[in-house]
């Protein structure tokens, strides 16, 4: 490695602007997911006033209409994932995230009016538009993370960012139920997150930045620390960042990763959307108890997510566990444990409430490992196109979010019939098993030649061996200049 400037610093501040950017990404994910998932609980209050605050209107919806409404945001997000990844990779994520968050908040505030003015069809249309807006968020988050995340802090920062999904889901369930049962009624479950979203947008405009070089608040030491860490994976100055579509769409590691993510989405989105319906149909609890029980697995999931983050930090820094082993082991736990839990759930008796909730908690909590296991694999394969890669795979994931409630709408005509739920859970378990098995065999964790940076001389397993062998020498050369 050639040192070209005396001012290069390899150790950044313990707390800096990069941490603020990750905090913004976490809160953005939490707020947007909250505004997407609050319908899962709110729809119970909308269709059954006696379960919440009877002072607010009740609307009669069929099971199919409920399924259409629950899946509507995923219909929209299927169409904009690629656009979000492409534009964020070319122009940066700051303004895209601002527009997405602002539009999502505005639509959330308008949601209660839509069903009052146009019934379920207008509500479906409004939620569809909200899905179109939300679709570009996740690719933007990964694009922004790749610009701000030093390689050694990737597991920690990426894990914290993705826990926004868990936090937003848990808050979406818990707050929606509490607000629906309060004097403010079910419309407040849409108003409150919308207003908080407006505040986030104002702060993001002031303190957000596309990259360390664009930030007005970052110190020279921290900027050099990030830029030096990312130097080898960035394209040379002045080179156009052409998207290697053919290489991406024929890359076996990426295609296997995309299928694995889609299999995990089948389980996660089904649980996010259907847990309140399942608990209401099987146990007939009130709206606030339903919301608390629905949120409980996702609260445990949020807590276990940080457990996975600390575990990954310990194994990579203290035990020098190779990245492929770390990713595949954690991803296996995140895929096969929910499969086992869902199979077990289908055979727990109707009277065993504790056993059923424990199975749901085990299934949801284990899924949190996929953030460290496979989600960050997009950054491993191509840091320059991390947002685009995630946009492609998340399009397939959103497709699972569309198909899942529609299939369940046909398969589960009676919410109180456990035999109908059994076929759903067994099917999801089978998909999870196959998806992770392919990931174990074909998954890779090395930067691919089509990333746009200097390609490695070899690929596949040989490249991983070469990268692992070169890592200590690179770390040593960097450490020699740390006293600067």
| pLDDT tens-digit map of 430-460 | 999 999 999 999 988 888 888 875 444 433 4
Q: Which residue has the higher pLDDT, 441 or 482?
A: 441
Least confident of 105-114, 270-279, 324-333: 270-279
Q: Measure CA of the first residue to CA of the last residue in the chain; give whole Å.
A: 16
Q: Which residue has the higher pLDDT, 182 or 234?
A: 182
How big, in percent rounded to 5, are the helix, strand and coil portions of the chain? 80, 0, 20
Q: Are the beta carbons of 139 and 385 closer than 8 angstroms?
A: no
Helices (H), ranges, 323-412: 323-345, 353-367, 370, 377-381, 386-411
Please give the pLDDT value at position 482: 29
pTM of the model: 0.68
Please give the pLDDT value at position 129: 92
Instruction: Answer yes or no: is pLDDT of 23 > 90.
Output: yes
Q: Which residue has the tokens 């807590």?
A: 303
Q: How far apart are CA 263 and CA 430, in angstroms?
A: 9
Q: How far apart are CA 121 and CA 12, in angstroms?
A: 53
Tell me the two tokens of residue 407. 């299939």
Confidence of residue 483 (pLDDT cuts 50, 70, 90): very low
Tell me the two tokens of residue 316. 């990579």
Q: What is the CA radius of gyration of the chain?
A: 23
How many other CB atoms sit within 10 Å of the CB of residue 170?
25
Q: How far apart are CA 180 and CA 182, in angstroms?
A: 6
Please give the pLDDT value at position 202: 96
Please give the pLDDT value at position 477: 33
pLDDT per residue as tens digits for the range 395-422: 788 777 677 777 777 777 776 677 778 8
Listed residue (153, 197, 146) closest to 38, CA to CA? 197
Confidence of residue 199 (pLDDT cuts 50, 70, 90): very high
Instruction: Name, of 5-19, 343-357, 441-455, the range with top average pLDDT.
Output: 343-357
Question: What are the residues whose beta carbons fall under 8 Å from the beta carbon of 460, sequence distance 6 or more?
Answer: 444
Q: Average pLDDT for residues 180-205, to the nearest whole number? A: 90
Instruction: Answer yes or no: is pLDDT of 262 > 60.
Output: yes
Q: How far is CA 405 from the centre of its chain?
A: 19
Q: Which phi and psi (to 5°) does residue 452 adopt? A: 110, -15
Query: Which domains are seen in the chain, by residue range?
Result: 17-453 (1.20.1250.20)
Q: Average pLDDT for residues 84-110, to the nearest whole number? A: 88
Please give the pLDDT value at position 286: 67
Packing angle between helix 188-207 and helix 94-134, nearest 10 degrees?
160
Please give the pLDDT value at position 239: 54
Widest Cα–Cα separation across the chain = 71
Q: Are the beta carbons of 137 and 29 closer than 8 angstroms?
A: yes
Tell me the two tokens of residue 420. 């109908």
Instruction: Answer yes or no: is pLDDT of 467 > 80.
Output: no
Q: Which residue has the higher pLDDT, 77 or 10?
A: 77
Instruction: Answer yes or no: is pLDDT of 481 > 90.
Output: no
Instruction: Name, of 182-186, 197-201, 314-318, the range with top average pLDDT.
Output: 197-201
Packing angle between helix 323-345 and helix 287-317, nearest 10 degrees?
150
Q: Average pLDDT for residues 387-394, to the nearest whole number? A: 80
Please give the pLDDT value at position 28: 94
Q: Average pLDDT for residues 117-146, to the nearest whole number? A: 87
Instruction: Answer yes or no: is pLDDT of 31 > 70.
Output: yes
Which helix (DSSP H) or strand (DSSP E) does residue 273 occupy? helix 252-283
Q: Which residue has the higher pLDDT, 317 or 328?
A: 328
Least confident of 25-34, 269-278, 356-365: 269-278
| Percentage of the residues of the chain whose pLDDT score is greater than 90 | 16
Q: What is the pLDDT of the chain when averaged over all its residues? A: 78
Q: Which phi and psi (to 5°) does residue 225 adopt? A: -60, -45
Q: Tell me 13's DSSP state.
A: -
Q: Average pLDDT for residues 126-135, to the nearest whole number? A: 89
């Amino acid at each position: 490695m050639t040192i070209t400037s005396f001012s290069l610093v390899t150790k950044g501040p313990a707390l800096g602007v990069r941490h603020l950017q990750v905090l913004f990404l976490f809160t953005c994910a939490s707020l947007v997911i909250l505004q997407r998932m609050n319908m899962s609980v709110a729809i119970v209050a909308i269709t059954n006033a006696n379960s919440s605050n009877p002072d607010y209107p009740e609307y009669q919806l069929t099971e199919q209409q409920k399924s259409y409404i629950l899946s509507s945001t995923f219909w929209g997000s299927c169409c904009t994932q690629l656009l979000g990844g492409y534009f964020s990779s070319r122009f940066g994520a700051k303004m895209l995230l601002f527009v997405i968050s602002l539009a999502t908040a505005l639509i959330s505030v308008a949601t209660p009016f839509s069903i009052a003015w146009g019934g379920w069809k207008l509500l479906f249309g409004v939620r569809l538009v909200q899905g179109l807006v939300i679709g570009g968020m996740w690719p933007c988050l990964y694009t922004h993370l790749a610009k701000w995340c030093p390689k050694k802090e990737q597991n920690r920062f990426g894990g914290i960012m993705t826990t926004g999904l868990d936090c937003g889901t848990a808050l979406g369930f818990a707050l929606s139920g509490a607000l629906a049962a309060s004097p403010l009624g079910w419309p407040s479950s849409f108003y409150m997150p919308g207003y908080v979203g407006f505040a986030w947008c104002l702060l993001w405009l002031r303190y957000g930045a596309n990259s360390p070089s664009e930030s007005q608040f970052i110190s020279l030491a921290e900027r050099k620390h990030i830029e030096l860490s990312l130097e080898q994976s960035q394209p040379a100055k002045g080179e156009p960042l052409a998207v290697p579509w053919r290489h991406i769409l024929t890359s076996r590691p990426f295609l296997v990763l995309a299928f694995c993510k889609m299999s995990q989405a089948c389980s996660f989105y089904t649980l996010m959307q259907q847990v309140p319906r399942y608990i209401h149909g099987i146990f007939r609890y009130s709206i606030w108890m339903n919301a608390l029980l629905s949120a409980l697995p996702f609260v445990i999931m949020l807590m276990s997510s940080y457990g996975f983050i600390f575990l990954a930090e310990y194994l990579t820094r203290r035990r020098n566990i190779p990245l492929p082993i770390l990713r595949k082991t954690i991803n296996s736990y995140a895929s096969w444990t929910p499969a086992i839990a869902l199979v077990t759930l289908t055979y727990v008796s109707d009277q065993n409430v504790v056993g059923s909730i424990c199975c749901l908690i085990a299934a949801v909590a284990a899924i949190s490992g996929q953030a460290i296991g496979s989600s960050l694999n997009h950054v491993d394969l191509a840091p320059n196109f991390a947002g685009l890669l995630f946009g492609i795979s998340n399009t397939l994931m959103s497709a699972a979010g569309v198909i899942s409630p529609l299939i369940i709408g046909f398969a589960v005509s009676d919410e109180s019939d456990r035999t109908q739920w059994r076929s759903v859970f067994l099917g999801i378990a089978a998909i999870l098993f196959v998806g992770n098995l392919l990931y174990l065999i074909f998954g890779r964790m090395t930067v691919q030649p089509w990333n746009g940076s200097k390609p490695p001389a070899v690929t596949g397993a040989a490249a991983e061996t070469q990268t692992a062998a070169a890592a200590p020498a690179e770390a040593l050369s960097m450490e020699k200049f740390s006293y600067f």
